[in-house]
Structure 1
């Protein structure tokens, strides 16, 4: 399997950065645009426009390139950044998404919403709709989010741990069918070797991460970074002292949470409570 690639900082302008990386990956493999089009199965002229910065295309095209190049998460993260220049993504996520594509391990605490890496299309669509997305922008966002899940697939996929506050599982989407599908997906994902899911019961009491969603990433050079957010703001943290204090709080929360096996049973119990008499 190809090694996870660290992104260079040649261009700080997201659309241009996406174009540069698209061209670099092709040139590195000594392919012409026509050859790339033949191998990936898309019109070669589209790739030429992408490399010139004339278009960023769509998530399905970018996903096809990701699969061909063996760079899980990299191009899709850059696509999201480039799309953000059209106000599709909030500024505060930009550097985080870049670093996520480089991460060799990830761990997370969820306050009220499942992490995007574990969401189903139906769940993601309802969450994004609540965030104000509609129409074509909404569908592109859903498709991009689903494409990013490739980050957790393959032999070299990074380990990922998420601790879900009980409120996450007590906050269903409106469609029972979609909620059932999401819980079933969560159970299935929790059984993967590189994914650990834990549930923190409300009865566990007060802890150091109350009200704070947080992501920790470890980069290929061993450096950790953290990203925290609430309903109104987000912050990327790279100062080692602050990260260490947050990691200690995270460790306490991990010890307070149900074990992975107990958490799976809890999710299955939640699944049993989802109405299903209308399903066929």
Structure 2
């Protein structure tokens, strides 16, 4: 342990402890390691003592290679990065990594799990607190890294309701947005991903002020998360979670069924959508109820409670 630094006090401290141990095993001084990594020796000191700015992803990669860490430092970096987030945000990300089912209503932008690299970069670049292009790229890497879960053996069922505004706001420009819509269509081909669109003509609803995510955990419990332009809140209390789960189910029920939703996405992508093919509200309700009854996934019953179907995944 480096002069009183407890590796159990934080992930950054554990990361620094590992860097120091690997450096000593390699017979390098802090100055020598800094020279090889093209940073000043004091930067290595900061990392080993968990002081100052967190290591960048690029630096973690360089140190991993120089010290022969076999991806240990690279694998630890996302957790070091997340320590900069508030407690509730870190708790939500930890829940999301374990969730067996994820339900999202996106009010303004495509959810991070389905964003393209250019779309994510355009959104993340809007943060006025960004200090450098390097920091922006770190955030892009971290966001895209979370998408790997969708291709893993324990991938969750993903149900996404996109407000029509998400499709029509050209984030990053025409080319970036067209590629993002194509990504949505591609994702919808996966059996564990369902996309629906909530059209403007549906009118007012309970979540107009922000986005909503409901996570189902392996033990069957749910947690919920609400996010707006300047806030985020995690809900774990059962009565609050149930209320938000019912809200999410209502949004699914009045959104366009998946096939019609994909037609709308294609139309917007091709820039020829005119709204003539949007069914009436009553027809959408009838189609949605039929879809939910026939679906192998979540269903509505008794006040809208969602029941995840347990069974083998494809």
Q: Is the structural similarity TM-score above 0.5?
A: yes
Q: How many Å apart are 1:57 and its aligned residue? A: 5.8
**Aligned pairs (5 A) from 1:16-165:** 16=13, 58=57, 61=61, 78-82=79-83, 84=84, 89=85, 92-132=88-128, 133=130, 134-165=132-163
> Equivalent residue of 1:160, what SS?
strand
1:130 match: secondary structure? coil
Which residue is 1:13 aligned to?
10
SS of 1:226's partner is strand
Aligned pairs for 1:114-263 (under 5 A) are 114-132=110-128, 133=130, 134-263=132-261
Distance 1:264 1:18 in 2: 44
Partners of 1:201 and 1:257 within 8 A in 2: yes
* TM superposition shift of 1:16: 4.3
The unaligned stretches of length 5 or more in structure 2 are 1-6, 20-24, 27-36, 38-44, 65-69, 273-314
Cα distance in 1, alignment partners of residues 164 and 206 from structure 2: 16
- The runs of at least 4 consecutive aligned structure 1 residues that moved more than 4 Å come to 16-20, 51-57, 74-77, 89-92
RMSD: 3.4
Larger Rg over CA atoms: 2
Q: Which has the higher contact order (CA 8 A, sep 6+)?
A: 1
1:104 and 1:15, CA in 2 relative to 1: closer, same or farther beyond 3 A?
A: farther
Does the CA contact (< 8 Å) of 1:77 and 1:101 recur in 2? no
Contact residue 200 and residue 258 of structure 1 kept, 8 A: yes
User: Contact 1:125–1:142 (CA<8 Å) still a contact in 2?
Assistant: yes
Counterparts of 1:109 and 1:102 in 2: how far apart (Å)?
19
**Match in the other structure for 2:304:** none
- CA deviation digits over 1:194-225, x for unaligned, max 9? 11111000111222222231111112222211
Change in 2 beyond 3 A, CA 1:203/1:150: same
Q: Secondary structure at the match of 1:211?
A: coil
- Residue pair 1:14, 1:81 contacting (<8 A) in 2 also: no
Q: TM-score, normalised by structure 1?
A: 0.71
Cα 1:222–1:265 shift into 2, 3 Å: same
Change (3 A) 1:222 1:138: same
Q: Which SS does the other structure have where 1:149 is aligned? A: helix
Query: Partner of 2:266: helix, strand, or coil?
Result: helix
- 1:175 positional shift: 2.4
Q: Alignment partner of 2:125: what SS?
A: helix
